[in-house]
Each structure stands twice: as C-alpha cells, then as structure tokens.
Amino acid sequence: MYRTTEIISDGTKNPPLEGGEAGDFIINVGPQHPATHGVLHLVITLNGETIKKVEPHLGYIHRSIEKMCESLTYRQFIYVTSRMDYLSSHINNHACAMCVEKGMQIEVPARARVIRILMDELTRIASHELWLGAMAMDLGAFTPFFHTFREREMINEIMEDTCGARLTMNYMVPGGVMQDIHPDFQRKVKDFVKQFQRKIGEMDEIVTGNTIFQNRMKGVGIITREDAISFGCTGPVSRGSGVSSDTRKLFPYEGYENIEFDEVIETGCDSFARYMIRIREMQQSIRIIEQLIDNIPEGDFQAKTKAVLKLPKGDFFQRVETARGQFGVYIVSEGGTTPYRIKFRSPGFSNLSILDHIARGSKIGDLVAMMGTLDLVIPDIDR
C-alpha cells in the first residue's frame, strides 16, 4: 500500500533523520499518493508500525495566489479564489465578494442573497458527497464512491446550467451574482432533494452501520477540545470535538440568522465523530435548501456598481463557513483599485497542522483514517 523509500539525507535543509534513533524507519507518503488526495507529501518516522512523527512537506501546488492578487483588481481577484478550495469554490467566491461589498458598503439585493445561500449549501453537499466517497475508498470500500458521485453529478448539472461551470464557478461577483438562475433551477434542485432523501439511508447501510468501517474509525485520531481550539481547527474537525465553531452561527452573514438550521456537534472527538458530523451536516443543508427554494424573492440579481471598484484605505476581514471550516479573507487597502496585501485564512492549513499531533503513537494503518476525516484539499493549503 505504501511506497517505502528510504530518504537519503543530504544534510542540508531538512535532515530527516535528525532526532531519530537507530531502528527508525522513514517512509514517504506522497506527493503522488491516492490517499493524500492531491500533492501532499508526508515524511513519516516509524518505529515498527508505530508512528513517531509525521512531517508534512507542502508547496507542490503553491501558486502564490496572495502575491498574484496584489496585481489583480477587486473584480478579477475573485476568479483566482475558485482555484484554492476547488470543492467549495462558490463559498470562497462568496467570502471575497462579501469582503469587497463590506469595504464599499454595497447593498446586495434580497434575491442575490438567497441565491448565494442556495449555491453555498449545494456546494457543501457536493463537497461532503465527494469526501464521503473518497473517504470510504481510502478505507478499502469502492462501492460508496459510485453512490455518492451519482448524487454529486446532479448538483454539478444544476451548477452547469446556471453558472456555466462544474468546478470553478466564479458565479458570485461584488454586488450579487453574475447572472440570474436558470429557468430549470428550482425544479432540478427539488428533484435533487427528493433523490438525496431517498438515497441517504443507503449510505447508512453500506458505510455507517458497517462494523469493519466503524472499527477503523472509532477511537482513531483523538482530538481533544483544547487541542482543536489551540491548533486553530475549524469546521467538522473541531465540531467533532464538541467545539461550537460554525461561522454561520457565530458570525452570521448574508441572512443565515433568519434561517432555521441546527449546528451539528458531536463529542466523540475521534474520526467517527467527524464522519457523523458531515453526514448530519448534509441533512441540515437540505433543510436550508427546502426553506429557501420556494421563497426566492423577485427582483434584481445584482446591485448597480461602478465599473471600477476602489476600496477605501484600511483593512477588511470577512469569514465564511466552507465545507472544511472557517475561510477568511483579509484585505489591506491603500485606496487603490488593487489590494495592497491580501491574506486568505484557509481552513485546511490549520486543520493539517494537527495531523502530527494526533498521529503520534498510533499505527500507520490508521493514518489514512485520520487524514480522510481531516478532509484535506491541498490547493487550499498551499494557495
């Protein structure tokens, strides 16, 4: 399962054997490994089968998006953010659009706000569906992958109709959304909701209730409440440890305060708790969609904005809840048409930092179960 290559230390930058003892075995997982879901490179120090240290080596897909944004205008830079957490591209775009709107004090029409929330929640379901399939595949079950992709495909089709894209949407712009929803949008979303509710029980039979699956997840990768907060974990990773961290509840935006939904919290602290969070979160997203789909207000889908956007001098911060946790956009403006400095607080970056802490002392076979429930998306970490 693992490529076991011994690293030859050249003694310069990261001497991998530093602090190691005789008998330690060092293996590389990645950068091209199916279980790392991208180009994450882990250098693992083992003693027998027990993990002594996990060292993430990042940067294989680093595109310097923050530097790039410094020469892009406030309309242009949003398109780059779709390429970070590509499974939550709507939500990334949403955060950036809101940050610019906050700086310029643009009032977003009610119709655009509802469309944005609908898109966000559809994205969250699509992301969790992909995670569920990939997670089960990591643990050796191939069938769930096809089941979850069947539902995800329906969402992708809805997105394709309205946004013209299936992955990098670029649909949300400062002031609203780029164009109105497709005439079929409501019908297709309702079809999807029906299909989802009919089939979610199937996943429980195949995966959740499966003894082998439960044995691989329960008691694995324990994150205590204190660690989750100290390591900056957000999203399902921290909510699995009993931290109430949903940005939609803590810092409501775009009208989430008027929508009925529950923040999903588990106190198991292990991989299985994080698994259950995502399953239950999908059902909450369905609940939000059901409330809004028949109540999309009439009106404009975009506010009238100037052709050239200029943010006043100062710094602006906006955070949203993506499928992986808290995503933040921090813009420092000098009053020009481009940001002076931009920082993206990506949830994956902080969630990854706890991997070494939880993996120490456990068996190497459990590492995949831990990484799977951290739900890492590498372009989001490297940026």
Partner 1 sequence: MTNEELKTTITGLLADASFEEGGEFLTVNVEAGAWKIFASHLRYDESLQFDFLTFCTGIDWKTHLTMVYHLDSYTYHHNIVVKVKLDAAKPEVETVSDIWQTANFHEREVYELFGVNFLHHPDLRLLILEDGWEGRNPLRKDFEDPVNMIKL
How many Cα atoms within 13 Å fall on the side-chain side of residue 187? 4
Which string of DSSP letters, residue by residue, matches 61-127? T---HHHHHTTS-TTTHHHHHTTTSGGGHHHHHHHHHHHHHHHHTPPPPHHHHHHHHHHHHHHHHHH
Residues 126-155 that bind partner 1 (CB under 8 A): none
Residues 285-304 that bind partner 1 (CB under 8 A): none
Q: Select the residue interacting with partner 1 from 230, 252, 262, 297 (CB under 8 A).
A: 230
For partner 1, the closer of residues 162 and 351 by Cβ is: 351
The answer to whether residues 336 and 310 touch, using CB atoms and an 8 Å cutoff, is yes
Q: Select the residue interacting with partner 1 from 244, 252, 257, 360 (CB under 8 A).
A: 244
Instruction: Give me the least distance between CB of 354 and partner 1, in Å please.
Output: 8
Distance CA 174, CA 177 (A): 8
Sole window of 40-48, 138-146, 288-296, 322-330 interacting with partner 1 (rule: CB under 8 A): 322-330
317 binding partner 1? (CB under 8 A)? yes
Sole window of 121-129, 205-213, 271-279, 347-355 interacting with partner 1 (rule: CB under 8 A): 347-355
The answer to whether residues 296 and 186 touch, using CB atoms and an 8 Å cutoff, is yes
Sole window of 177-185, 191-199, 205-213, 340-348 interacting with partner 1 (rule: CB under 8 A): 340-348
Element housing 92 (H / E): helix 89-104
| Bridge partners for 327 per DSSP | 320
79 binding partner 1? (CB under 8 A)? no
Backbone angles phi, psi at 28, to 5 degrees: -100, 130
| Bridge partners for 188 per DSSP | none
Q: Select the residue interacting with partner 1 from 101, 121, 246, 382 (CB under 8 A).
A: 382
Distances in Å between the alpha carbon of 335 and those of 28, 296, 339, 340? 47, 36, 8, 9
Q: Select the residue interacting with partner 1 from 284, 322, 333, 350 (CB under 8 A).
A: 350
Residues touching partner 1, count (CB under 8 A)? 41
Q: Select the residue interacting with partner 1 from 316, 322, 348, 379 (CB under 8 A).
A: 316
Instruction: Give me the least distance between CB of 25 and partner 1, in Å please.
Output: 22
12 binding partner 1? (CB under 8 A)? yes
31 binding partner 1? (CB under 8 A)? no
Distance CA 65, CA 43 (A): 26
161 binding partner 1? (CB under 8 A)? no
224 binding partner 1? (CB under 8 A)? no
67 binding partner 1? (CB under 8 A)? yes
Helix (H, G, I), strand (E, B) or coil at 326: strand
74 binding partner 1? (CB under 8 A)? no
Helix (H, G, I), strand (E, B) or coil at 308: coil
The answer to whether residues 200 and 282 touch, using CB atoms and an 8 Å cutoff, is yes
User: 256: which DSSP letter?
Assistant: G
The answer to whether residues 24 and 365 touch, using CB atoms and an 8 Å cutoff, is no
The answer to whether residues 93 and 172 touch, using CB atoms and an 8 Å cutoff, is yes
Q: Select the residue interacting with partner 1 from 36, 82, 89, 245 (CB under 8 A).
A: 245
Site residues for partner 1 per CB under 8 A: 12-14, 58-59, 62, 64, 66-68, 71-72, 102, 227, 229-232, 243-245, 250, 314-317, 319, 326, 328, 330, 332, 340-341, 343, 345, 349-350, 352-353, 357, 382
